[in-house]
Structures are given as C-alpha cells and as structure tokens.
C-alpha cells in the first residue's frame, strides 16, 4: 500500500517494564509525500487488527485502555498519554528524501503484553499522513527463534532488540509472517 515498507518490533522488558521498540522504515515516507506541517508521519497502536484487503479503517481508534481520551499527548508526561500514541510520546516518523528512515529505537514503559484491555498483542500499527491512514500492519506474537528463522531466509533488513536490552542486527525477510501492506509489526516473546 502506497509503497511503504516498515518493520516494528516490540520486545518485552523484564519485570513487565514496558517494551523496547525498534522501527525500521525502508521505503515510502518521503518528504515529497509528507503533508503535515511538521514534515512527519504520525503512528499509533490501534485497537483492532487490519481488516480484509488491508483495510486500515478496520483498525478502529487508538489503544487507550486507561481512557486518557484525545487530549494532546505531552511527550514530557508520557504516563498521561494514550498507550497507543507512539508518535505523541516518542516523536513522529520524520520524512526523508529517499523515504527510508534510519532505525529508530526507544523504550516505552506503558506498553503491555497481557491483560485484555491493555495488551498490544493482536492489535495493529497504523501510520498516518496528516491524519489520513496510509499504512497498517498487525502486531503478531513471535518467538525469537521463529523470528531468527524468518530473518535468515529473506532479504529485508531489520534490527532486533532482545528482551534483555541487548541489540543485534539481522538480515532477512519476514515473508512467512502475515505482513500487511508491506508493513510488519511484531512482538518478540522470548529470547
């Protein structure tokens, strides 16, 4: 969809202390196409998975288990932001000339991997262009072993954060995962 290719990895931190998030945008978020005055693309975790035919509208609204509502997120007070408002808390995906964005990584202490209301597993990531939904992908659960097998057999480039905070790079495709619209979002569940 729209020639966007991106991988989002959410690795649980020990003691339920949120997640390490690693984002690789390999294609599609160019300055030429960016419509927002900031020159950035917003992105969020939405409550529902992607619909049939890569329908991003089917993902519903932002993940907001604590009912923060649509008040503007203050990045200096992330605990008061919607859990799913990743660009509000951590900054937008800033457009580049080529449309590829150097790897972004950060810790988000709000993200949860359990609990019917709060979990990010089974939900989706949506990228917006000045409000319009332009790409979306399901957040799938993945063991690290299965992830390694996937990355050993293809040609996409991704960075892997493991749950203990160590970082390693892996080259490979994610072709056997349910990649929607060229976008994959996944959770690494164990080392």
Separation CA 3–CA 39 (nearest Å): 18
Give 44 or 112: the residue with its C-beta nearer to Cu ion: 44
Give least dist CB 46 to Cu ion, A: 6
Q: State which residue, 110 or 160, has the beta carbon closest to Cu ion.
A: 110
Please tell me the distance from the alpha carbon of residue 98 to that of residue 102, in angstroms, as a whole number: 11
Q: Which is nearer to Cu ion, 19 or 73 (CB)?
A: 73
Tokens representing residue 49 in the block: 């998975």
From the CB of 88, what's the least distance to Cu ion, in Å?
A: 10
Smallest gap from residue 154 Cβ to Cu ion (A)? 28
Site for Cu ion in 76-135 (CB under 5 A): 126
* Minimum distance of Cu ion from residue 126's CB (angstroms): 4
Residues 6 or more apart whose CB falls under 8 angstroms from that of 54 comprise 1, 136, 180, 181
Span interacting with Cu ion, options 21-29, 40-48, 102-110, 175-183, rule CB under 5 A: 40-48
CA distances from 94 to 103, 165, 183 (A): 12, 25, 17
Candidate segments 39-47, 64-72, 97-105, 154-162, binder of Cu ion by CB under 5 A: 39-47
Q: Among 15, 18, 190, which Cα is nearest to 90's?
A: 18
Instruction: Return the residues of window 125-164 that contact Cu ion according to CB under 5 A.
Output: 126
Least distance (Å) between residue 128 CB and Cu ion: 5
Give phi and psi for 17, each to the nearest 5: -95, 55
The piece of 44-52, 75-83, 94-102, 139-147 that touches Cu ion (CB under 5 A) is: 44-52
For the chain, strand residue ranges (E) read 5-12, 19-27, 40-41, 43-46, 93-94, 101-108, 124-129, 132-142, 157-161, 167-171, 183-188
Question: Is 44 an interacting residue with respect to Cu ion (CB under 5 A)?
Answer: yes
Footprint on this chain of Cu ion (rule: CB under 5 A): 44, 126
């Amino acid at each position: 969809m729209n020639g966007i290719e991106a991988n989002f990895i959410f690795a649980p931190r020990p003691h339920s202390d949120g997640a390490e998030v690693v984002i690789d945008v390999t294609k599609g978020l160019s300055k030429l196409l960016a419509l927002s005055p900031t020159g950035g693309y917003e992105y969020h975790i939405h409550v529902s998975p992607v619909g049939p035919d890569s329908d991003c509208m089917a993902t519903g609204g932002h993940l907001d288990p604590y009912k923060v509502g649509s008040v503007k997120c203050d990045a200096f007070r992330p605990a008061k932001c919607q859990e799913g408002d990743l660009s509000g808390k951590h900054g937008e995906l800033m457009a580049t000339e080529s449309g590829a964005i150097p790897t972004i990584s950060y810790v988000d202490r709000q993200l949860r991997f359990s609990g019917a209301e709060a979990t990010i597993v089974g939900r989706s990531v949506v990228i917006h262009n000045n409000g319009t939904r332009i790409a979306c992908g399901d957040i799938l659960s993945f063991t690290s072993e299965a992830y390694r097998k996937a990355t050993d057999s293809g040609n996409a480039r991704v960075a892997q954060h493991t749950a203990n905070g160590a970082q390693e790079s892996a080259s490979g495709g994610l072709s056997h995962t349910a990649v929607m619209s060229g976008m994959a979002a996944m959770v690494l569940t164990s080392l």
